[in-house]
Amino acid sequence: MTAPAASARRLVFLGPPGAGKGTQAAIVAAELGVPHLSTGDMLRAAVREGTELGKAADAHMRAGGLVPDALVLEILGERLRKPDAATGFVLDGFPRNLAQAKELARRSPLDAVLWFELPRPVLVERLTGRRVCPTCGTVYNVTSRPPRVEGRCDREGAALDQRPDDRPDAVGVRLRVYAEQTAPLLEHYRSAGLLRPLDAAGSPGDVTERLRRLLAAPPARRASQGL
Ligand SMILES: [Zn+2]
């Protein structure tokens, strides 16, 4: 095992849907010079590279099913052993539950878990306000990023859609599932001394600035990460 880096580099970004984790993970990973790893991207990359694990994942996805946790973890383990992840990584939206967190800990130590906090009404507004152009894929938000003409894409004028996942009922379910699965995870990382709460309200630029400050601060406490 190598000595801990001067600043935290093996990071997990944890937070509810709509909190802006993906956007921030991409920015921070680029600044730190480490890979930004999301489960979906990792799976697609493994499939593209045609590894044994990728082929197995592809079979599940073609059958329309979810890729089992055990396989996702194997693919993650393989990804973490690549040279570009040697100095760190930003894991975006993984782990999602305590079982995955324990398996992750067997594969890599962590330096910090950034917990994106946002009041529920703000999350609901962000998620239910999302509109997508079916033609070019541009994502809008009725409050924070409205199109110039209501309901129409700025590029080619196509009628914007709301994804079924972003309808109010579905958003309620997504937030409830998140809360149920991640509550034990938060407690776990808090007691390990890794959890760093982040105020995820405001503009993406404001959040990036807060993240930079948090990451520059020395770890509050290095407790045992053993499980
Ligand atoms: Zn469009």
**In the predicted model, is pLDDT for residue 223 greater than 70?**
no
Say whether 37 sits in a helix, a strand or coil. strand
Catalytic residue selected from 126, 130, 131, 196: 130
Share of the chain above pLDDT 90, in %: 70
Please indicate whether residue 81 is annotated as part of the active site. Answer: no
Which band of pLDDT confidence, cut at 50, 70 and 90, is reported for residue 8?
A: low
Rounded Cα distance, 107 and 164, in Å? 36
Rounded Cα distance, 208 and 202, in Å? 10
Q: What is the mean pLDDT of residues 164-190?
A: 92
10-35+82-216 maps to which CATH number?
3.40.50.300
Give the Cα-Cα-Cα angle 92, 51, 30 (nearest 5 degrees): 30
Please indicate whether residue 130 is annotated as part of the active site. Answer: yes
Which of 23-37, 60-74, 177-191 comes out lowest in average pLDDT?
60-74
Please indicate whether residue 21 is annotated as part of the active site. Answer: yes
Strand 130-132 vs strand 36-38: parallel, antiparallel, or unpaired?
Answer: unpaired
Q: What is the mean pLDDT of residues 19-39?
A: 93
- For the segment 193-218, what is each residue's pLDDT rounded down to a tens digit? 999 999 999 889 999 999 999 998 76
Cα of 164 from ligand 1 centre, angstroms: 18
Full DSSP string of 112-177: EEEEEE--HHHHHHHHHTEEE-TTT--EEETTTB--SSTTB-TTT-PBPB--GGGSHHHHHHHHHH
Rounded Cα distance, 201 and 117, in Å? 8
* pTM of this structure: 0.83
Cα of 133 from ligand 1 centre, angstroms: 5
Q: What is the mean pLDDT of residues 136-162?
A: 95
Average model confidence (pLDDT) across the chain: 89
Share of the chain above pLDDT 70, in %: 92
**In the predicted model, is pLDDT for residue 182 greater than 90?**
no
Cα of 170 from ligand 1 centre, angstroms: 24
Q: Residues 166, 41, 78, 222: is their CA dihedral positive or negative? A: negative
